[in-house]
Chains A and B, each alone.
Chain A
């Protein structure tokens, strides 16, 4: 036990560990906030789809030779999110089909560009890092952390300000439209926040595991809690807790950060499932 404490102390004397912890917890918090809305709107896979778009955009950024690829990745991801979520309940192409199209398309184009115009010798390594975010969270610089804090504050503030509207538009878009609420604007806001979260989260867990960060805490919370507010609060707590546990475990055990966090999320999901079995039996 003393060994463990000494090891932790050693690690926390390095600023990059602190950076990883701050960024990790913030991203976990942000991604869980909209998770409930996205799962209920049947957009569970939007994290996957948009992160593939961001992957494609990164490839383009590498090709053009931009030093900070955020300038290309962020706008392209936001536009894709708007296109996907714009139509809301009354879409002509179903949400899942549209996401599948954009996701697979962007992935293929991105991988193609990376291979045809390789920016470094190790293409497979680059792809792996972008997809799984294997170590990038441990290589964050102070500037990255500041960008992450600013974007998290924007996401959290927007979510709190529009909380009631997001709830109402998710629950019943047609009623809100009929009552004179500009549902399209709120769908747009949901799309933009979603895109911001995904671009943020790519640094932590990489493209492939973003969906897990978005949906697992929401699904866990929905097993047990019965009001929208309690589900949102619970999924935020679960997400932050899992990210914390995941980051510590990955430091101690030397496992990849992203997948360790997701495995923790999966374990918590099973715990919540078991809890819901008991509470349901009691209420019957």
Chain B
């Protein structure tokens, strides 16, 4: 397993204000990294930096192998605009191929095929002509996942993908992401969900107030002081279960 991204003593922020510092982690091919942290701990700044949308204040984020800016498929949080947007599922999934177009105004046959095969991979083919705003939250996330996969096949970055979904849809989405990971897609997921993170992820990056608290494998995390503290605070009654899982 070779490394895709390598963060060395990185500090991130805006206009000279440091939001989060001391980031030191690597993401290897085929891994499933979960980034845990409170609101305001700099998760969204880290997302932008990983996507290549802003530069670190100090330190480096190395992209190794053939990973360039734009090679990470992104599942952003939903915006208000999307909730009443008249667009068919096919149109949205196709738009994932747009970065490949450059200045070309129309999609090629290969790109249309890619969109169709990605839709069937994520089980949304029968929704292709449905209107996006009429779908359930879980179906909408599947559609956006398909779009992200059209844009980039190797790495996906998911920003709190289960927010607002009911428990069943959350479970389905976690299983789907896990399947994608098994089939070779590297997953980077930002989450609040301690239980799901420790259940599915292979690696955990925990960001505290403005600095990194932990990076390592999930098993190490559960054995670490930070992991134990977090588990006790979030799930005091389930402490035993979490430990036995780890």
Contacts and interface: CB of A to CB of B under 8 A. Distances in A.
A178 B51 contact: yes
Interface of B: 51, 53, 68-70, 72-74, 76, 79, 81-82, 84-88, 90-92, 94-96, 98-99, 101, 105-107, 129-131, 134, 144, 147-148, 151-152, 157
B99 A180 contact: yes
Contacts of A177: 51, 53
Contact of A89 (B79, B84, B88): B79
Nearest to A223: B86
A227 B91 CA distance: 8
Nearest to A42: B81
Contacts of A179: 70, 73-74, 96, 98-99, 151-152
Nearest to B47: A178
Given A160-B105, A175-B74, A227-B91, A181 B81 contact: no
A196 B81 CA distance: 25
A222 B131 CA distance: 11
A172 interface: yes
A176 B88 contact: no
* Chain A contact surface mostly: helix
Contacts of B81: 40-42, 89, 170-171
B124 to A, nearest CB: 15
Interface string A158-175: 001111110110111011
Interface in A193-252: 221-222, 225-229, 231
Given A164-B107, A168-B98, A228 B91 contact: yes
Nearest to B134: A226
A172 B76 contact: yes
A163 B69 contact: no
B87 A180 contact: no
B86 A164 contact: no
Given A40-B85, A228-B91, A176 B105 contact: no
A181 B103 CA distance: 10
A155 B121 CA distance: 39
* Chain B contact surface mostly: mixed
Given A171-B95, A179-B99, A179-B151, A228 B87 contact: yes
B1 to A, nearest CB: 24
Contact of B95 (A164, A180, A222, A231): A164
7 contacts: A164-B98, A165-B98, A175-B76, A180-B68, A226-B86, A228-B88, A229-B91
Given A175-B74, A180-B69, A226-B130, A163 B82 contact: no
Given A176-B98, A228-B91, 8 more contacts: A164-B94, A164-B106, A168-B95, A172-B82, A178-B51, A178-B76, A225-B86, A226-B131
Contacts of B148: 175
A136 B151 CA distance: 49
B87 A171 contact: yes
Nearest to A41: B81
B135 to A, nearest CB: 11
Contacts of B76: 172, 174-175, 178
B187 to A, nearest CB: 16
Given A42-B81, A177-B53, A178-B51, A227 B99 contact: no
Contacts of A178: 51, 53, 70, 72, 74, 76, 157
Contacts of A171: 81-82, 85, 87, 92, 95
Contacts of B130: 226
Contact of B101 (A164, A170, A174, A221): A164
Interface in A11-68: 36, 40-42
Given A171-B81, A171-B95, A227 B86 contact: yes
Leading 9 A-B pairs by shortest Cβ distance: A180-B70, A226-B131, A227-B88, A178-B74, A168-B95, A179-B99, A178-B51, A179-B151, A228-B87
Contacts of A227: 86-88, 90-91, 129, 131
A178 B73 CA distance: 8
B53 to A, nearest CB: 6
A164 B131 CA distance: 17
A216 to B, nearest CB: 16
